[in-house]
Chains A and B, each alone.
Chain A
Amino acid sequence: MAVINTPNGYDLDNSGRRIVVDPVTRIEGHMRCEVNVDDEGFIRNAVSTGTMWRGLEVILKGRDPRDAWAFTERICGVCTGTHALTSVRAVEDALGITIPDNANSIRNIMQLNLEIHDHVVHFYHLHALDWVNPINALKADPKATSELQQAVSPSHPLSSPGYFRDVQNRLKQFVDSGQLGLFKNGYWDNPAYLLPPEADLMATTHYLEALDLQKEIVKVHTIFGGKNPHPNWLVGGVPCPINVHSTGAVGAINMERLNMVSSIIDKCHEFNTNVYLPDVKAIGGFYKNWLYGGGLSSQACLAYGDIPENPNDFSAENLYLPRGAVINGNLEEVHDVDQRDPEQVQEFVDHSWYTYGEAGKGLHPWDGITEAQYELGPNAKGTRTNIEELDEAAKYSWIKAPRWKGHAMEVGPLARYVVGYAKGHEDIKNQVDGLLRDMNLPLSALFSTLGRTAARALESEYCGRLQKHFFDKLVTNIKNGDESTANVEKWDPSTWPKEAKGVGATEAPRGALGHWIKIKDGRIENYQCVVPTTWNGSPRDTAGNIGAFEASLMNTKMERPDEPVEILRTLHSFDPCLACSTHVMSPDGEELTRVKVR
């Protein structure tokens, strides 16, 4: 094949050696990646494939809209709760249900809690091993590690040489046992790993600290939602009542519960400031010259915005996480985003395992059609049930290709921060400028794999501050005599209109998330989700634009093409969530969703 120039500015050349990575591990769900590498080891063509489908939307048809949060929550157990929140918002939007102030604060605290939990678990347990070599940590001097720890984070109490020696001993016994468990077959002698042993030991230690911490973080969900993963939500508010003064307070949100929430918020904040951010800076410092992976982030970023200050107001000015779209690399102009506009969000399926009946069409989610068509292209190698190589000129993924006004977009923490930065969002600008100054890097360094990883850490810290704000707001409101947590005026379906439509939007940890619902006679007539990893992991569209994963892999140098360290590094920086992205299709050519624009 000759070189193909994509409309979004990439030169694809699949003449080099083909490398297949399947399964891509340390992600949520199932994913495959294929790349072509030239003689010098540079990636010149990238193919990203979602390899699972569950069919949630067809299952939702005919159900009670008040139950939809529970179904959609099960789209993903990693970003647990965010689909539920999006769902109750969509139902409330459709039925004109407003929620009380306390419910808004509690939902925000829960959503922010998820952002922090997800970012921490992502960095330490899904992403760190792309940068950190735990085997190399065995060579570290515990005393020097202690000095490093104190230098990068003077306030972190766990920093003695003895502490690091203990962890190192434990690690040594583990490795010496011959049962390497999760570290088995890692790429530990690959030259792509650049950290000195002391930094490896420090980060490996924090892998374990974060594993202990994450089970504490989620207790905020447990208090308000009864369990985690998959806490409970409620259309019209939140299910937990507040009772701080009277008899029966033990069965409600009371002083003890509030104190527990407050202490967890403090704990998260300490970890973010004493461990997470310093680690990202320290590790990033050793990889400063590895600035691959920017992909679409410097060109096209999309954010829906989230965390409303006042309840029931989703205008951009009322949201702490920014909303907007940046296109063509022009940071001077941020476009507003309207999920209801049929011309803005559209999905294409020419390279996805679906058909719209005719080629080249893009459909708004409210007008969407989902009809499966699993077939491999003529140049694919292998068989239908034993794929060796995909043919990206044909259909090649269970993920659709969503586009914003025709543009392939990146979503997620970096996209939010790019949009926020471009909009002059004060907190975001201060954080980004501060980080770049500390690390002595130009703004362009932000548009990279590491920039994505850093934006996530910055956001985790920012979310911690927002959590404090909403906790204080909740307590102040209770103090002022308002204990209300649910609005039940329209709980009974007999109060609903015969037909209604709504949209709910959030910023999931991985990016912009939207649910579109249509209700008829008290039941769900249609339901459609367009999720972050559908944006980021999308295949090519009709015009040939490649998606964010694919773009980010382009022109990356692989140290050893047989060992996909660099591919994992960049894909992981998006925190892929395949169960989310690939829930939308149907088998048997059945038409699943057809919703008219209102």
Chain B
Amino acid sequence: MADEVVVHAQDVWKVYGSGEAQVAALKGISVDIRRGEMVAIMGPSGCGKTTLLNCFSGLDDITKGVVTLEGVDIHRMSDGKKSNYRAMRTGFVFQSYNLLPVLDAVENVEMPLLISGVAAKEARARATQILQEMELGDRLHHRPSELSGGQQQRVSLARALVTRPAIVWADEPTGNLDAAGSQQVTELLRSLNRQYRQSIVVVTHDPEVALSCDRTLRMRDGKFDS
């Protein structure tokens, strides 16, 4: 079970534009990520890290190749099924948090549960619990504008993890944080990964984050370094 491949990518290409203006952002990427594995993807700016994350997670289409998540080809799903899959089986963390400013912390966190069809009462309880685990129990009803950057990113993390997803995709989760906040989020990611055995794919520039991962994949010019 522990060795089960959760993310399988085979010869994945992503090409932007057409004709002479074509730019290949991903050039035949192949990789497997196992359940419970925390993988860092590093590389210089423009090497295709975020494109890889978007294509693997199903947020963006691929030009060629296959990406399966838990054995299902994500790019053969309809938009509705893809949305359902994202709601139930994956979580996302972004550099700019992307919390809804009109909802408070607990409402932001319970949102993926409600989208997945979890009853409102249970959703509220689970959202409250995970925020308390992240030491935000006293910030449940604060709106994003009333939270610090680190606190916002922890709320964002809670939102990504509250559905107990199989895979968490994190794009520069510490990019907007100071050193202390960065360390706190990294530790949190690692401890949750260990606690819930979720696969986590982190795109990062931060060596400290990479160090805390099981594996680091380095990218250059749309390919993994060999």
A and B held together in a complex: no
Residues of B whose CB lies within 8 Å of any CB of A are none
Residues of A whose CB lies within 8 Å of any CB of B are none
